[in-house]
Every structure is written in structure tokens, then in C-alpha cells.
Amino acid sequence: MDTLRTASRVYNRAAKSNNASLIRPNGSKADLVYKIVSEIPSGKVMTYGQIARIAGVKNPRYIGYLLHHNPDPEHIPCHRVVNFQGKLSDAFAFGGYWEQAKRLEAEGVAVKGDKENMVELDRYQAA
């Protein structure tokens, strides 16, 4: 129930915003996913599964597919999306996990782990 309210709120805000061009008249799932990602605050992350639930997408891998084909990386910060464990993407479309880590750290998100590829979800996950 809360997930549906969140998706509805995000979609309605997108429709009224200056970036409404991200949502085509048919309101596709891809447009909603891009809008949700565009609203992840700096210094926070969301998981593929979290975005999938909000957008009503059954498979979180579809979120990864969409973000790998990000049409507007300047306004759709796909570096703020991690897996369910907080792990960064090895296949980050714009330079591997080290580039994703660099962008997150520039926003104040601490990246840790043996290969510096994890974030603490309980600390940085957007609600």
C-alpha cells in the first residue's frame, strides 16, 4: 500500500515538474523508473528491488537494464542505485564500480569493502 502511494506521488510530481518530458503521455514503466531514480537525493542510494517495487516492475534486473541504457545521465543519477546488499555494480555503464564509488563518495556516501564496492544500506538507503 505504501509502495503504491509512493509511486503515485512520484508520478504525479513528475507530471507537474519541469522534467515532465521524462514521462511520455502513455506513462510507461521506463519513464517512471527514470523519474524515481532522478529523485534519489544526493548522498542516498536505492536498490534495484526497491525501485522495481515502487514502479510496479516484477524483475529488478529490468531496472538494471534500463539504467544501463540511461538516456540522460546528467539528470538520472544511476550511480545512486545498488543491489539488495548495497553492492556497487561491476558493470556500471560509465566506468565500472570504481567510477560509481567515486561519484557516491563525492556525494558523501562512504564506500567500503575489500574492493571498495559496498555501501551501508541502513545508513544511506533512501526511504
User: What is the rounded distance in angstroms from the CA atom of residue 31 to the CA atom of residue 36?
Assistant: 9
Is position 78 annotated as part of the catalytic site?
yes
Side-chain-facing half-sphere of 50: CA atoms under 13 Å: 18
Please, what sign has the CA dihedral across residues 21, 107, 79, 120? negative
Helix axes 48-55, 2-16, angle to 10 degrees: 80
Dihedral through CA 2, CA 69, CA 31, CA 122, nearest 10? 20
* Catalytic residue chosen out of the listed positions 46, 78, 81, 118: 78
- With b meaning 16 or more CB within 10 Å and e meaning fewer, what string describes 72-86? eeeebbbbbbbeeeb
Catalytic residue positions, numbered: 78
